[in-house]
Amino acid sequence: MPKAKTIAHTMRRAAREAEFAPHDAVIARRIPGSDDVAAEAARQSIRQKYALIQDAIEVATDVDALKTVVDQFGAP
Neighbours of 39 (CB within 10 A): 19
Reading phi first (left if > 0) and then psi (alpha if -120 to 50, else beta), residue 62 is in beta
Looking at the structure of the chain, the number of domains it has is 1
Give dist(CA 29, CA 39) in Å, integer: 12
Q: Measure the CA dihedral 21/24/29/33, to 10°.
A: 100
Domain encompassing residue 59:
2-71
Domain assignment of residue 6, yes or no: yes
The per-residue pLDDT for 67 is 92
Give dist(CA 33, CA 6) in Å, integer: 40
Give dist(CA 56, CA 43) in Å, integer: 20
Q: pLDDT tens, 27-65?
A: 777 766 667 788 888 999 999 999 999 999 999 999 999
Q: pLDDT tens, 12-23?
A: 999 999 999 988
Domain assignment of residue 76, yes or no: no
Q: In the predicted model, is pLDDT for residue 76 greater than 60?
A: no
Domain assignment of residue 17, yes or no: yes
